């Protein structure tokens, strides 16, 4: 019965994570989206392009919706299904196999089952690089040498930019980025909102977290998958490891372990700028799990490797956009953590065993990290 309760807690954690929505580097008209998590999928293509799948979360009226994101160049725009994110999240999430629960361990409370709530046209020096529709959306891709003119253009065309966003728009503009701006078509409602897919010229994944900070929450989860030919690693963020020997049973947290607390404590040592690799396997392993979503099936067939990284960061720490490169020499990382050989009394902390202390590791800090 004890193991069943722990397993139930673990399953609830997966459901809770899977239902949390995200919208990377965006702004929704009138008020920012209150983000609990960001989920994004990168697919590195062999023709020098990158496909970025971004989940969008929005609560409000359809006429008030807009979405603005910086991209390196004019993208092709399409839509994806939310089932892609949900199934990929579920299949790659950490799974903990605890040791036998000793008699000294107290029975945990049954977890609550409440769900988490989760052609070119130039006007006033603003150049419209592309316009079109994708699924429920109408979109424009715009650029300008004058960020003030671009901000005015976005506002005039119902892509509202608040004063908090203006300095960030200026920064990305000065870095040579262009902006994809999207809104719902007149005959579409909020229920029609889907994740989007942007394909653009690039070989290095980058998450525009600086703009995300406008609508982020403290300790916001950043969950990222990268499909490519090798394991992805951050180049300008630290990438420490949460050791299995430090994991303890915790009846009062979702999943029945202190894993999220360890992640928080670890990334806090690097001022939030750290990713934990939770899964890094050949896609043949993913295919063996028989995914049901057709989009996920295609990704698992087309690419050789998939990496899942997890970050936890607060808005004030979102000062550097994380970037990734690829390492063919790294060992694979399974999401299954077999803790069955650990001492049960230590794992379940029923003999007063202290929690492990997390220490800063200079070896995981990339060159140039400040």
**What is the CA angle 349-221-6, rounded to 5?**
35
DSSP assigned state of 48: S
d(CA 212, CA 57): 13
Confidence of residue 21 (pLDDT cuts 50, 70, 90): very low
Tell me if 216 sits within 8 A of 314, measured CB to CB. Answer: yes
Percent of residues, the chain, with pLDDT higher than 70: 82
Helices (H), the chain: 2-19, 82-92, 147-156, 166-174, 209-212, 259-268, 283-288, 294-302, 344-347
Confidence of residue 58 (pLDDT cuts 50, 70, 90): confident
Which residues are CB-contacts of 202 (< 8 A; sequence separation ≥ 6)?
48, 49, 50, 72, 73
Residue 300: the pLDDT is: 97
Confidence of residue 122 (pLDDT cuts 50, 70, 90): very low
d(CA 69, CA 362): 33
Helices (H), 20-101: 82-92
Q: Are strands 76-79 and 196-201 parallel, antiparallel or unpaired?
A: antiparallel
Helix (H) or strand (E) holding 352: none
User: How far is CA 171 from each of CA 6, 157, 176, 183, rounded to the nearest angstrom?
Assistant: 47, 21, 9, 23
Of 141, 26, 157, which Cα lies nearest the Cα of 73? 141
Residue 319: the pLDDT is: 92
Confidence of residue 14 (pLDDT cuts 50, 70, 90): very low
Of the listed ranges 199-208, 219-228, 307-316, 343-352, the one predicted with least confidence: 343-352
d(CA 137, CA 187): 10
Given its phi and psi angles, is residue 65 left (phi above 0), alpha (psi -120 to 50 degrees) or beta?
Answer: beta
Provide the mean pLDDT of the chain.
83
pLDDT tens-digit readout, 297-350: 999 999 999 999 999 999 899 999 999 999 999 999 999 999 999 988 888 877
211 or 316: which carries more pLDDT confidence? 316
Tell me if 20 sits within 8 A of 118, measured CB to CB. Answer: yes
Judging by beta carbons within 10 Å of its beta carbon (0-12, 13-18, 19+), is residue 341 exposed, middle or buried? Answer: exposed
44 or 360: which carries more pLDDT confidence? 44
User: How far is CA 14 from each of CA 9, 90, 93, 150, 262, rounded to the nearest angstrom?
Assistant: 9, 6, 7, 41, 17
Dump strand ranges (E) for the chain.
35-44, 49-54, 66-71, 76-79, 95-97, 121-123, 126-134, 137-143, 178-184, 196-201, 216-228, 231-234, 276-282, 305-313, 324-327, 336-338
Helices (H), 195-282: 209-212, 259-268
pLDDT tens-digit readout, 24-37: 444 444 344 444 57
Residue length, the chain? 370
Of 274, 188, 158, 205, which Cα lies nearest the Cα of 53? 205
């Amino acid at each position: 019965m004890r193991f069943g309760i722990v397993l139930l807690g673990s399953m609830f954690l997966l459901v809770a994570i899977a239902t949390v929505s995200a919208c990377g580097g965006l702004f929704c008209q009138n008020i920012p989206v209150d983000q609990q998590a960001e989920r994004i999928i990168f697919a590195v293509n062999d023709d020098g392009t990158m496909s970025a799948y971004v989940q969008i979360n929005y609560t409000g009226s359809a006429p008030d919706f807009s979405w603005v994101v910086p991209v390196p160049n004019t993208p092709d725009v399409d839509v994806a299904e939310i089932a892609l994110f949900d199934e990929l999240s579920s299949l790659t999430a950490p799974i903990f196999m605890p040791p036998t629960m000793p008699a000294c361990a107290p029975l945990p409370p049954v977890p609550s089952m409440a769900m988490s709530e989760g052609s070119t046209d130039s006007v006033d020096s603003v150049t419209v690089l592309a316009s079109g529709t994708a699924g429920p959306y109408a979109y424009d891709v715009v650029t300008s040498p004058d960020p003030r003119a671009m901000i005015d253009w976005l506002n005039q065309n119902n892509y509202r930019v608040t004063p908090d966003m203006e300095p960030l728009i200026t920064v990305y503009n000065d870095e040579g980025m262009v902006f994809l701006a999207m809104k719902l078509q007149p005959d579409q409602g909020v229920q029609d909102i889907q994740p989007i897919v942007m394909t653009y010229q690039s070989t290095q994944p980058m998450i525009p977290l600086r703009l995300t900070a406008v609508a982020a929450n403290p300790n916001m989860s950043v969950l990222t998958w990268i499909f490519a030919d090798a394991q992805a690693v951050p180049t300008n963020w630290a990438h420490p490891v949460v050791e299995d020997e430090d994991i303890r049973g915790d009846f009062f947290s979702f999943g029945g372990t202190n894993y999220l607390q360890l992640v928080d404590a670890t990334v806090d040592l690097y001022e939030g700028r750290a990713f934990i690799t939770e899964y890094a396997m050949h896609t043949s392993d993913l295919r063996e799990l028989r995914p049901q979503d057709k989009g996920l099936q295609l990704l698992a067939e087309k690419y050789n490797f998939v990496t899942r990284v997890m970050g936890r960061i607060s808005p004030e720490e979102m000062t550097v956009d994380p970037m990734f490169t690829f390492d063919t020499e790294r060992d694979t990382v399974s999401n299954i953590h077999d803790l069955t050989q650990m001492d049960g009394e230590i794992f379940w902390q029923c003999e007063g065993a202290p929690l492990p202390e997390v220490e800063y590791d200079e070896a995981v800090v990339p060159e140039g990290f400040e």
